[in-house]
Amino acid sequence: MVMPLPFLTRRPTVPAKDGASWPHVIILGGGFAGAHAVGALRDARVRVTLIDRNVYKTFQPLLYQVATAGLNPGDVTMFLRGLSLKVPNMRYRQGEVEGVDPERKVVRLDEGQKGIHELSYDYLIVANGATTTYFGTPGAEEHAMPMYTRSQALSIRDRIFSELERSSREAGISHDKLHVCIVGGGPTGVEIAGALADFRMQELDILYPEMDPGTLQVTVLQRGDEVLKEFSTKYRQYAADELRDRGVQLRLGHGVKEVGYDHVVLDDGSILESDITIWAAGVAIPESVAAWGFPQDKRGRLAVDDYLQVKGFPGSTPPETSPARTSRSPSWPSPRSSPVRRRPAPSPPRSPASRARSSSTPTSAPWPPSVVTPRSRRSPY
């Protein structure tokens, strides 16, 4: 019997026409909502294009750990393209959505050096999240550090440890304090304050033996009279007690009127030293959304009906009859026939010869790959 040589046989791919005429769903934003929407469309007869400015999804609830060096960036991010391993009817495109024209059903995507492209859609899922708001506070945008993205959390971390180095060098000279002011006593502010306080109690004297742990001063500034105002009284009190026990100063009842390079001004006129001001005070809809032509409520949120459809733009084309409208029509595999969805049983270790054969596979090989190797599943982030 003649065995076919594996590298000479065609890969079991799905013909390009399969799925090419399916309705095109664009998902704008690969955060919690966008990534879940991708998963939910896995068995639908639609082509999905996921767009995000980053190649990764961020688990924002743990950003405070990145900012305080408890976790590394890769621990809180997930490779977005990796979603296609489970959802083969998805394509990912990196870029900045700079506009949406809901009348023409196109998204304008800025792909950097590749220029700006228009992508047509039949259905659009708007999942671009929220962003930091400074409530018009003078100096806040220039001098305070927000913590909404992975890179912002890393900037805070770099700044904290650079300032600690500076303080450790100056420890014997001036006994200067390192003041970290956290604006906002909500969950994010409380979490960062708690993490910094724990760091001071447990690690600072080991890592910086030349420095008095009391050099690091952590203050939470909160306009209201209590921290964690969304929580019950019991938890608000508990959080405040725990922070105070750990040496965190709580300045309650006053808002921040202005932020300077090395200080903050409260609304009663008092001025506090602040080497690092962390802004954990609020979120808002990105201003750019206002230009997208969708109805918004007073707070800028998109006005939606009971089915979360944007009012006036219900996405009415039924999936069965929708024509293909994308500007590009790459081959779209059928989720039902894709080999990726049914994971093969673990195979025995491969010989060096077979490894060499698979590495000679041309990079233009049809997508998706017929075998998902452990290596290809690992996120580079």
Ligand X SMILES: Cc1cc2nc3c(=O)[nH]c(=O)nc-3n(C[C@H](O)[C@H](O)[C@H](O)COP(=O)(O)OP(=O)(O)OC[C@H]3O[C@@H](n4cnc5c(N)ncnc54)[C@H](O)[C@@H]3O)c2cc1C
Which residues of this protein are in contact with ligand X, per CB under 6 A? 29-34, 51-54, 57, 60-61, 63-64, 96-97, 127-129, 147-148, 187-188, 286
Instruction: State the nearest-atom distance from the C-beta of 217 to ligand X, in Å.
Output: 22
Could you give the CA distance from residue 31 to residue 80 in angstroms, rounded to a whole number? 9
Instruction: State the nearest-atom distance from the C-beta of 196 to ligand X, in Å.
Output: 14
Q: Which is nearer to ligand X, 31 or 368 (by Cβ)?
A: 31
Residue nearest to ligand X (CB): 31
- Residues 276 and 159: beta-carbon distance below 8 Å: yes
Q: Which is nearer to ligand X, 147 or 240 (by Cβ)?
A: 147
Instruction: State the nearest-atom distance from the C-beta of 153 to ligand X, in Å.
Output: 8
Q: Which is nearer to ligand X, 266 or 283 (by Cβ)?
A: 283
Instruction: State the nearest-atom distance from the C-beta of 14 to ligand X, in Å.
Output: 29
Beta strands in the chain (DSSP E): 24-28, 47-52, 56-58, 77-79, 90-94, 96-101, 106-110, 116-120, 123-126, 131-132, 144-146, 178-183, 216-222, 249-252, 256-259, 263-266, 271-273, 276-279, 283-284
Could you give the CA distance from residue 17 to residue 300 in angstroms, rounded to a whole number? 41
3-state percent helix, strand, coil for the chain, nearest multiple of 5: 30, 20, 45
Instruction: State the nearest-atom distance from the C-beta of 245 to ligand X, in Å.
Output: 22
Residue 218 identity (one-letter amino acid): V
Q: Which is nearer to ligand X, 44 or 130 (by Cβ)?
A: 130
Could you give the CA distance from residue 38 to residue 127 in angstroms, rounded to a whole number? 11
Q: Which is nearer to ligand X, 96 or 258 (by Cβ)?
A: 96
Instruction: State the nearest-atom distance from the C-beta of 351 to ligand X, in Å.
Output: 41
Please choose, from the candidates 135, 236, 149, 227, the residue with its C-alpha nearest in 3D space to the C-alpha of residue 182: 227
Q: Which is nearer to ligand X, 151 or 376 (by Cβ)?
A: 151
